[in-house]
Structure 1
Amino acid sequence: MLEYDPSAEIQALRTTFANIREVVDVDSLRAEIARLEAEASEPGLWDDTANAQRVTSALSHAQSALARVESVERRLDDLEVLVELANEMGDEDSVSEARKEITDLEKVIGDLEVKTLLDGEYDDRSAVVTIRSGAGGDDATDFAEMLMRMYLRWAERNKYPVKVLDTSYAEGAGIKSTTFEVDAPYAYGVLSVEAGTHRLARISPFGSADKRQTSFAAVEVIPVMEEAVEVEIPEGDLRVDVFRSSGPGGQSVNTTDSAVRLTHLPTGIVVSMQNEKSQIQNRAAAMRVLQTRLLLLQKEEEAAKKKELAGTITASWGDQMRSYFLYGQQLVKDLRTGHESGNPATVFDGDIDGFINAGIRWRKRKTDD
C-alpha cells in the first residue's frame, strides 16, 4: 500500500498563503466590497456615467481579488482531503492526482504572492500598452506584430478583457505600431515590467537565405488614470489630424475620415486612435491616452524619476531588456533578471508569466536596495 506524505509541501503552501492573506487584508476587502455594493445599488447611480463606471469597475476588481483568495483557500482545504483519499485508495493514480494539485497550487500561490509585491502608486490600475517597431526593416515590423500577439494571448489566457485602440500596419509584413488597453486589476503593475526594448535574432524570412537578422521593438506601458481629466491642454498646443481607418495592406475599413491623430506640440507626443466608429469617439479616446501620458510626464519631472515610469526607449542596440533567439539555441532570455525559456514558441503564444513574475521580484529588490 502506498504511503504519500506531502505534509511539508502543504505546510509551506499554507504559510505562504497566510502571508498573502494578511497583505491582502481580506476583512478590509470584504468591507470595501460591501461599501461599493451599496453605492452601486443607489437609484441615481447612472445619472453620473463616469462615477457609475468608476464604482462598478472598482466593485468588479475587488470581487475578483476576493474570489482569487477564497478559491485558493478552498483548494488548500480540499487538497488535504485529496491526500487522505489517495492514501486510503492506495493507488498511483490517486497519488498522481494529489501531486498534480500540489504543483498547480504552488504556481497559483506563487503568482498570487508576486501580486502582493505590487504596491506602486499606479500598480492597481488597468494598462495601456503601445508596441512600436524599431530598427530591422520588415523583420522589425513582423516582430512588433509577434509581440502584439504574445501579449493578447497572455491576456486571453488570464481572461483579461482587451480593447485594441489603434494599429498602424506596415507596407510589407507586420505592424509599425499598435496600442491596446488591458482592463484588469493590477494590469499596469504586472505589465509595466515588460516596458523596454525587445530584441529578436533569427534567420530572416524576408532577406537572403541563411542570413541572420537582428531587429528591435519598443514596448511602452502606462496606467489608465482617472486623474487624466485634470490635465488641461491648450488648443494651441495640439495638432489634430483626421484620416480614414485602414487595415492590413491599406485596405479601407470605412469610407469616412473617422480616425484621429493628436500631436502634442510642446512634447512631440503623438497618439492615434481608429478603433471607434466615429471621429468624436476616436478623439475622446486619443485625448484620454494623451492626458495620461502628459500627467505621467508631469509627475516624472516633479519627482525626478523619469526612468521609473517611462524612460527613453530607443528600440535599438544597447538598451534591450530581453532577447529572443529563433536560431540555433532557441532561447528567450531576460537580460535584467536572468530568467530564460528554451521554448520561444510557447513564449510567443503568451506563456510569459515566468518572465513577468521574475521582473516584478527584480524590480522590488531594486526598490528595496
Structure 2
Amino acid sequence: MATDFTQEIKDLRATMASVREVTDLDALQQQIHDLEQQAADPSLWDDQERAQKVTSGLSRAKAEYERVTGMDQRIEDLEVLVEMGQEEDDADTLAEAERELQSLRQAVANLEVRTLLSGEYDEREAVVTIRAGAGGVDAADFAEMLLRMYLRWAERHGYPTKVMDTSYAEEAGLKSATFEVNVPYAYGNLSVEGGTHRLVRISPFDNQGRRQTSFAAVEVVPLIESTDSIEIPENELKIDVFRSSGPGGQSVNTTDSAVRMTHLPTGTVVSMQNEKSQIQNRAAALRVMQSRLLLLKKAEEAAERKELAGDVKASWGDQMRSYVLQPYQMVKDLRTEHEVGNPDKVFDGDIDDFIEAGIRWRRAQEKATAEV
C-alpha cells in the first residue's frame, strides 16, 4: 500500500503545532537573549559556578530552540522531496522520502513526549538510587546491571552523570548505588523508572544451574535547588562518618571521609562516599536528603488533598517491569504492556521506548484521575 505522504505530513505538522505551543518559542528566544547578555559580561567568570550555569543554560536553550525549529525545516524539506519524486515518478527519491518520513515520525514523537513533562519538578535534574532487594547475590548482581543500564542510557544521549555512592555486596554486585543525571528533564524522564524491577534467569551463582528470581528497587527524586524551601533542623539529623570502601569491603580511603546521614523523624538514610573529603560528602548527602524530603512532602500534600497514598508511583504495584532471560527472553513493563524480546539491548541502555511508554501511561492515568 502506497504511503499517503500528504496525510502523514499533515499529521506531523499538527503534532509540531502542539509542541510549539507548549515549548513557547518566544519565551525561549527571550531566555537565550538574556543568557547571551549575561555570558557577554566580562565579570561573569569571577563566579565560576554561576558562569558554568549561565553557559550550560545558554547551550541547552539554544539546542532546545534549534530542535523545534529544525524539525519544522525537516518537514518542509520532506514535502519538497515528495513533490520531486511524485512529479518525476522517481522511485529512488520516493524511497528516500519514505526513510526520512520514518525518521521524522520518531523524532517528532520524542519531541511530543517532552510536552507531556509538565509536572512541578519534571524539568529538574535527577537523583537515582538503586537498591538490591530479595534474591541474595543475584539481587546484588541485578542492582549492578541496572546501574550500568541507566549509565549507558545517559551515555547514549550525552547526558553527564555522577555516581555519588556505591555500597558493594560481599560476593558480587551492589547493595545500593546513588547517581545524578545532570541534564534538564532528567527527573521527568526517569521518574517513570521508579519502582520494583524483577529479574528471572538461570543464576550464574548457583552451581546447580537453577532458575532464580531476584528484585531491585529504583528510586528517582528531583535534584534540589537553592530556591527550594526545605530547611532541616540540625537536631533532626544524625551524621555518622566512616571510611569509604571498594568491592568486597576493600578500603579505598584511609580517612573517615564517607558520610551516612539519617533524618530522624522519617528514618530516611543517605550515604555518600565518592567525594574526596568529608565536607564534600556531607554537602552531597544533605542535597540528596533535601531532595527526598521535598518529594515526600509533596506526596503527603497530595495524599491529604486526594486521599491517595502519595504520588502516582504508589499505584504501580510492587513490580513495574520484568526482565526474563530464562526460559525465554523478554523485557516487559507491567503498567504499559510495552515489551521487547532482546534483553541485552535493554541492559545496554536501550530504554527510550520504555520511558516514552511510561510517560504516556502516566499522563493517561493523571487525566483519568482528574476526570473522576
Q: TM-score, normalised by structure 2?
A: 0.89
Cα deviation for residue 243 of structure 1 reads 2.2
User: Which shifted more, 285-294 or 10-19?
Assistant: 10-19
Partner of 1:332: 331
Partner of 2:253: 254
Q: Which amino acid is 1:12 matched to?
A: D
Cα deviation for residue 52 of structure 1 reads 4.8
Q: Note if 1:128 corresponds to 2:131.
A: no
Partner of 1:32: 31
Cα 1:159–1:105 shift into 2, 3 Å = same
In 2, the alpha carbon distance for the partners of 1:156 and 1:102 equals: 27
In 2, the alpha carbon distance for the partners of 1:159 and 1:85 equals: 36
Cα deviation for residue 254 of structure 1 reads 3.0
Give the SS at the match of 2:178. strand
Contact 1:167–1:178 (CA under 8 A) maintained in structure 2: yes
Q: Which amino acid is 1:308 matched to?
A: D
* Correspondence list, 1:356-367, <5 A: 356-367=355-366
Q: Which runs of 5+ in 2 are unaligned?
A: none
In 2, the alpha carbon distance for the partners of 1:63 and 1:91 equals: 37
* Correspondence list, 1:1-369, <5 A: 6-45=5-44, 52=51, 54-84=53-83, 86=85, 88=88, 90-92=90-92, 94-227=93-226, 230-304=229-303, 307-308=310-311, 311=314, 319-369=318-368
Q: Which amino acid is 1:15 matched to?
A: A
Q: Which amino acid is 2:193 matched to?
A: E
Contact 1:228–1:288 (CA under 8 A) maintained in structure 2: no
Contact 1:339–1:355 (CA under 8 A) maintained in structure 2: yes
Q: Which amino acid is 2:35 matched to?
A: L
Cα deviation for residue 69 of structure 1 reads 1.0
> 1:153-188 CA deviation, whole Å, 9 max, x = no partner?
111111111111111111112111111111111111
Count of paired positions: 362
Contact 1:220–1:310 (CA under 8 A) maintained in structure 2: no
Cα deviation for residue 311 of structure 1 reads 4.8
Contact 2:261–2:270 (CA under 8 A) maintained in structure 1: yes
> 1:294-316 CA deviation, whole Å, 9 max, x = no partner?
22222322332652176599xxx
Give the SS at the match of 1:217. strand
Q: Which amino acid is 2:8 matched to?
A: E
Contact 2:300–2:310 (CA under 8 A) maintained in structure 1: no
Cα 1:359–1:229 shift into 2, 3 Å = closer
User: Which shifted more, 119-128 or 18-27?
Assistant: 18-27
Cα deviation for residue 20 of structure 1 reads 1.1
Q: Percent identity?
A: 63
Q: Which runs of 5+ in 1 are unaligned?
A: none
User: Which shifted more, 47-56 or 239-248?
Assistant: 47-56
In 1, the alpha carbon distance for the partners of 2:66 and 2:164 equals: 29
Cα deviation for residue 197 of structure 1 reads 0.5
Cα deviation for residue 23 of structure 1 reads 1.7
Cα 1:322–1:96 shift into 2, 3 Å = same
In 2, the alpha carbon distance for the partners of 1:325 and 1:301 equals: 35
Contact 1:126–1:184 (CA under 8 A) maintained in structure 2: yes
> 1:301-347 CA deviation, whole Å, 9 max, x = no partner?
2332652176599xxxx611111111122111111111111111111
Cα 1:22–1:235 shift into 2, 3 Å = closer
Q: Which amino acid is 2:90 matched to?
A: G
In 2, the alpha carbon distance for the partners of 1:312 and 1:108 equals: 30
Q: Which amino acid is 1:258 matched to?
A: S
Contact 1:229–1:288 (CA under 8 A) maintained in structure 2: no
In 2, the alpha carbon distance for the partners of 1:82 and 1:153 equals: 36
Give the SS at the match of 1:280. helix
In 1, the alpha carbon distance for the partners of 2:214 and 2:81 equals: 50
Cα 1:355–1:215 shift into 2, 3 Å = same
Cα deviation for residue 257 of structure 1 reads 2.2
Contact 2:302–2:310 (CA under 8 A) maintained in structure 1: no
In 1, the alpha carbon distance for the partners of 2:218 and 2:353 equals: 18
Contact 2:126–2:180 (CA under 8 A) maintained in structure 1: yes
Contact 1:324–1:332 (CA under 8 A) maintained in structure 2: yes
In 2, the alpha carbon distance for the partners of 1:228 and 1:311 equals: 27
Q: TM-score, normalised by structure 1?
A: 0.90
Cα deviation for residue 233 of structure 1 reads 2.4
